[in-house]
Amino acid sequence: MNIYLIRHGRQNSTLCNVDVELSKEGREQADLLGKRLKTYDIEAVYSSQLIRAKETADIINSYLEKPRLIDERWQEADFGGMTGLTNEELKEKYGDFLAKRAQMTEDIPYPDGGENCQMIFERSFQALKDLTKEPYKNVCVVTHGGVLRALITGIMGADYAKWLTIGRQIENCSITHILYDEKVGTLRGKIIY
């Protein structure tokens, strides 16, 4: 099974993880990706429930016209109390957290109820495993940068504390191709830009 993990198009806000629509550029990115994916023989289009992911998936699916499903396990990392803040507010309110995280010595959760890499990996990897039980040969999932980093980190068996160094430059509307080998139950992957 080919699972094409897509990072949503560019969003319409610079605030930390707010649930907003795509920007004009993000819609254009999704449109170009939809045209490209017509050649991938996609059989179903999944996304998280967040607006930017749903909108990206809907634009892609306007070219594919396949079953369209939403799974909340593909949502972005829960940034806890950091959600909705500007970069300046983040530095002021959570400077100690940001400094500690930059040391990359432990997988600390985002403050005030947020997730850490292992938590993101566990929920998104379960969604990935559930996808492998579906009868499809080719699916695409529109998700988020934090989810992609956590999945890559966990699948590689890398240190969760270093997850932000993995796939640092995963661009909006890039494709991360995961190949699931049904015969032996293994995953392989690569990032396609």
In the residue annotation, 76 being an active-site residue is answered as yes
Q: Position of tokens 């997988």? A: 107
Structure tokens at 12: 């319409």
Kindly write down the DSSP assignment for every residue of 99-162, as one continuous string: HHHHHTSS-PPPTTT---HHHHHHHHHHHHHHHTTSS-SEEEEEE-HHHHHHHHHHHHT--GGG
Catalytic residue among 25, 55, 76, 171: 76
Q: How far apart are CA 132 and CA 115, in angstroms?
A: 25
Catalytic residue among 8, 55, 115, 144: 8
In the residue annotation, 134 being an active-site residue is answered as no
Rg of the chain, C-alpha, whole Å: 16
Positions marked catalytic: 8, 76
